[in-house]
Amino acid sequence: MFNLDLTKFKKYDRPGPRYTSYPTAPQFNEEFNSGKLLDEIVKTNYGDNLSDLSLYFHLPYCDTLCYFCGCNMIITRNRDRVKEYVNYVKKEIDLLRSYINVDRKVTQLHWGGGTPTHLNPDEINDLASYIKTSFPFTDDPENGCEIDPRGLTREHLEALRNNGFNRISMGVQDFNDKVQKATNRVQSEEITRQTVQWVRELGFQSINLDLIYGLPFQSVKTFEETVDKIIDISPDRIAVFNYAHVPWMKKHMALIHPEDLPLAEEKLEILKMTIEKLTGAGYDFLGMDHFGKPDDELSIALREKKLHRNFQGYSTRAGADLYAFGMTAISQLQRVYAQNVKTEKEYYTALDNGEIPTAKGYLLNDDDILRRHVIMKIMCDFELNMKDVEQKFSIDFKTYFKNGLENLKEMIDDDLISINGDLITISDMGRLLIRNIAINFDGYIERKEDTARYSRTV
């Protein structure tokens, strides 16, 4: 059972990065182009220990607009538009595949959106088959897909399962009718349970359900009813996200009225209740906003110090180079991040010209590599051995990170972390505030080179 100290939580409720990458996306620049990405592809294609591949496909289309959505998505019911996009994704596959060593195998595949199941079953079969014939896969790949139960048929899930998908993730957000109407996402408990039943009958290995706290008209009492129902449904994983109201970044969020949002105090009480209920029901708290059953791969990876973090969140497949396809998708190779263009027109034009559709990216320097290693160890292992870092990077840790360690003293006093000898250990409470801890090792924030507006950490 996890007991949350709200006093400490309020103290550290500040804006900060989520660290799905380091450096974070605001550091990406347009000087980075497809030529620099190709240089890195060539460098990672040779050697005795070739990395496996992780493939991400961004399928941006949705049937309706959820007012809380922070994703890169397009609302359309034009089936020809969807088919055209899929055909261009195939072009991007062909183009990138020609540069990647044929001996490298796919260990992880993920479809995100948008709504991947906005594709009909035939379109799912078509794209999935094209991917499978274009890339060799390992014997036990992790193949996940995000789905929307609204408008979903069993045939959609059968198409995914028949093409090797073994993990499903879907949004619930909140079962309360008033909350659903205020956010334009009406999704009954009945169709959610029906979808989960189909997923289990078809033999998917894992199912994740997403919740969001901080939405209009939520209260501790109403959200507790949703949490109780989620516990009864018993998914393998649960993600509980903090709603970030950023209408200056996502204009459609202006459709949510600020006066309808729960006050900060109520929002914290909602989070406290949720964490205590989920951990009391036997879920492991994996860090930040993720929970898993003790026998789930993420829970096992956490215990074995094999957890990994990338643009899809926490993962079990560390060390793979991530190649991302589709508009706005972000690739992550050993020393580069590369983000694709934002619009259909730019995407199609680049591919028609035989060009990788890179819009911007970042080439990491040695300081970035070092700090990424430290931040990811903190985010994923919830401990850091300073001596190991010194040996790996030939530095004196306490000198290199003098300012960051100085800033940790307050967190030591608040029992968020402890330092014993060379070992920094994150407490249970610290896991909830892991973004605040990681910030102390961020060189861009330390040097005041990062002035981006981030969501709050709570």
Domain CATH number, residue 73: 3.80.30.20
**How crowded is residue 341: how many other Cβ atoms within 10 Å of its Cβ?**
19
Give the sheet arrangement for strand 167-173, strand by strand.
284-287, 290-292, 237-242, 206-213, 167-173, 137-147, 106-113, 53-59, 321-325, 330-332, 336-340, 358-363
- Whether the CB-CB separation of 286 and 314 falls below 8 Å is answered with yes
Same domain, 291 and 415: no
Residue 312's pLDDT is: 75
Same domain, 16 and 37: no
Residue whose tokens read 């992550």: 332
Average pLDDT, the chain: 93
Same domain, 292 and 154: yes
d(CA 63, CA 147): 12
Mean predicted confidence (pLDDT) in 85-95 = 98
Residue-wise burial string across 258-273, b where 16 or more C-beta atoms lie within 10 A, e elsewhere: eeebbeeebbbbbbbb
Of the three residues 263, 295, 323, the one that is the final residue of a domain is 323
In a domain, 345, yes or no: no
In a domain, 9, yes or no: yes
Tell me: pLDDT of 284 over 90: yes
In a domain, 342, yes or no: no
Tell me: pLDDT of 366 over 80: yes
d(CA 44, CA 176): 49
Q: What pLDDT digit, counting tens, does each position of 148-201 carry? A: 999 899 999 999 999 999 999 999 999 999 999 999 999 999 999 999 999 999
Residue 290's pLDDT is: 92
Question: DSSP characters for 193-243?
Answer: HHHHHHHHHTT-SEEEEEEEES-TT--HHHHHHHHHHHHHH--SEEEEEEP
Same domain, 93 and 229: yes
Mean predicted confidence (pLDDT) in 435-444 = 94
Please report how many Cα atoms fall inside a 13 Å half-sphere around the Cα of residue 6, on the Cβ side: 12
Same domain, 88 and 184: yes
Quote the tokens at residue 333.
């190779």
Q: Among 7-16, 87-96, 346-355, where is mean pLDDT lowest?
A: 7-16
Mean predicted confidence (pLDDT) in 287-316 = 87
Is residue 457 very low, low, confident or very high in pLDDT (cuts 50, 70, 90)?
A: low
User: What is the tally of helices (H) and strands (E) in the chain?
Assistant: 19, 19
Same domain, 182 and 236: yes
- Whether the CB-CB separation of 73 and 113 falls below 8 Å is answered with yes
Same domain, 209 and 235: yes
Same domain, 191 and 305: yes
Question: Shortest CA distance to 247 belongs to which of 239, 261, 237, 258?
Answer: 258
Same domain, 420 and 446: yes
Phi-psi region of 394 (alpha: psi -120 to 50; beta: other; left: phi over 0): left
Residue 181's pLDDT is: 97
Same domain, 290 and 383: no
Domain ranges, residue 412:
1-22+366-450
Number of structural domains in the chain: 2
Q: Among 3-12, 68-77, 265-274, 341-350, where is mean pLDDT lowest?
A: 3-12
Tell me how many degrees the CA angle 339-251-242 measures, rounded to the nearest 5: 75
Of the three residues 300, 323, 346, the one that is the final residue of a domain is 323
Handedness of CA 95, 100, 106, 112 (dihedral sign): negative
Same domain, 314 and 375: no
Burial of 50 (0-12, 13-18, 19+ CB in 10 A): middle
d(CA 444, CA 24): 9
Residue 408's pLDDT is: 93
Quote the tokens at residue 27.
């550091």
Residue 14's CATH number = 1.10.10.920
In a domain, 10, yes or no: yes
In a domain, 357, yes or no: no
Quote the tokens at residue 281.
């029901």
Residue 1's pLDDT is: 63
Quote the tokens at residue 257.
């009225």
Question: Shortest CA distance to 52 belongs to which of 325, 304, 334, 309?
Answer: 334
In a domain, 286, yes or no: yes
pTM: 0.94
- Whether the CB-CB separation of 396 and 377 falls below 8 Å is answered with no
Q: What residues form DSSP beta bridges with 170?
A: 147, 209
Q: What pLDDT digit, counting tens, does each position of 118-150 carry? A: 999 999 999 999 999 999 999 999 999 999 999
Tell me: pLDDT of 456 over 80: no
Residue 287's pLDDT is: 80
In a domain, 338, yes or no: no
Same domain, 160 and 291: yes
Tell me how many degrees the CA angle 448-449-452 measures, rounded to the nearest 5: 95
Tell me: pLDDT of 52 over 90: yes
Is residue 451 very low, low, confident or very high in pLDDT (cuts 50, 70, 90)?
A: confident
Q: What pLDDT digit, counting tens, does each position of 188-227 carry? A: 999 999 999 999 999 999 999 999 999 999 999 999 999 9
Task: For residue 220, give the amino acid letter.
Answer: V
Tell me how many degrees the CA angle 10-16-21 measures, rounded to the nearest 5: 140
In a domain, 351, yes or no: no
Of the three residues 271, 290, 323, the one that is the final residue of a domain is 323
